[in-house]
Amino acid sequence: MSATRMAAYVDPPPGVPLRRSLLYVVLLLGSNLATFLSSSSSSCAPHVAAAPAATTAPRTVLVPEMQPELPPEFHAFAGPHMLPYGRNPNWGTAELRPPAGHPCLAFPDLLAAFMSYPVNGSCPDDELPAQRLLLRGCEPLPRRRCRPAAPPDPALPLPLPDALWSTPPDRSVHWSAYTCKSFRCLVDRARSPRFDDCKDCFDLAGRECRRWLNATASGKKTKNSPLDFSIDEVLASASPPGSIRIGLDIGGGSGTFAVRMSERAVTVVATTVNLNGPFSTVVAARGVVPLYVSVAARLPFFDNTLDVVHSMHVLSGWMPPAAMQFALFDVYRVLRPGGLFWLDHFFCREEEMAAYVEVVESVGFGKLRWVTRRKLDRGAERKEMYLSALLEKPLKNSWRHPSSNS
């Protein structure tokens, strides 16, 4: 290798740590040595017919000169940044390394667009491509030094409790990322044959105001499916009564579950992504904290802290079983011993149900309620199944495998 070429690997470009460059040198030298040994042995060996080509493409190792060019602002963010007072004994390091999801670098075009903006100026109007980057695993998204797109003249939020069941005015939403440009459009799409995520969630005066209740405003019992647990029934399952105080709703829609809980003095944070609708904006307008994270992200809560976790439809059969198991163990992690996990209307194909049941049962929850039914809303020919379950993290020995809790 020429001295010039070697220098290109040893002298890293801005933002590439020296340790990484040295690793590339080792990989390159190892590759050259392997090639030399292979060619030497092949020159002495008898001719052998070539093996069939592998079906899997060879893995490419990116060296610094092959890495996509990223804006200087990304390197300015990613650091590392040296701490002004040196090594911090609590952190065990003298560097601050801001987190960015590992897959960010797998999508250089999206990442470059996200990080290209005038510093101290206006961010691009890029909610949709930024969300695509997040949903592809670039999570958390890198921080930026610019001001996000916003509506020019938003209305002030309503006070509580008026905000709980009020739709914000159209001028409080920045609509550029969505097909609809008004709440009237969002409400009307519930009657459209087109698929949209949670398409009836924005009609707060319609079906949304009846979710998770077992009685109407007049006091009459509603005709609920056995799959439809009510919030009051779930809260009554807690021991002791009143011990459900804080929780999380995974895939919170427009925030109605969290609103129902707040009416019962329970504080619930709702995770959201804006799939063709301003879910985060509406959740916040209703007085609920919207946590903008994907379903693949590690939950940003410490171990053994939450009283209840709820998920409706989001943790379902569209997730591979292994990813589902990681998600459920993360739910188990953040629940306190004795906390409740409400798996609400999980669904999958009938032939897959046994595998997903095995995943759920592997985590170690106790079963308080467990109901399965055929899912018929999209036609019996699809052979889909529902599962609604109320599960409890063991109060004692929750750290141990269930088989050892004897």
3-state secondary structure of 355: helix
pLDDT of residue 60: 40
290-292/306-312 β-pairing: unpaired
With contact defined as beta carbons under 8 Å apart, do 309 and 250 qualify?
yes
Q: What pTM was computed for the model?
A: 0.79
| Residue from 189, 159, 185, 191 nearest 170 by CA | 185
- Side-chain-side CA neighbours of 213 within 13 Å: the count stands at 18
Over 50: is that where the pLDDT of 203 sits?
A: yes
Task: Give the pairing of strands 335-349 and 306-312.
Answer: parallel
Q: Which CA distances in Å does 129 have to 2, 68, 110, 178? A: 42, 19, 7, 12
**Most confident option among 26-35, 106-115, 211-220:** 106-115
Residue type, 21: S
pLDDT tens for residues 23-58?
A: 444 444 555 554 444 444 443 333 333 333 334 444
Q: Hey, how many other C-beta atoms are within 10 angstroms of the C-beta on 243? A: 14
* Residue labelled with tokens 């698929």: 195
Residue type, 47: H
Eight-state DSSP code of residue 276: S
Which of 13-27, 56-70, 103-117 ranks highest by mean pLDDT? 103-117
380 three-state secondary structure = helix
363-398: pLDDT as tens digits: 999 999 999 999 998 889 999 999 999 999 999 999
Q: Report the alpha-carbon angle 89-94-100, nearest 5.
A: 110
Hey, what CATH topology would domain 170-393 get?
Rossmann fold (3.40.50)
In this predicted structure, the answer to whether residue 195 has a pLDDT above a threshold of 90 is no
Place of tokens 């063709």: 276
Domains of the chain, residue spans = 72-83+90-136, 170-393
Q: What percent of the chain has pLDDT over 90?
A: 64
**pLDDT band at 222; cut points 50, 70, 90:** low
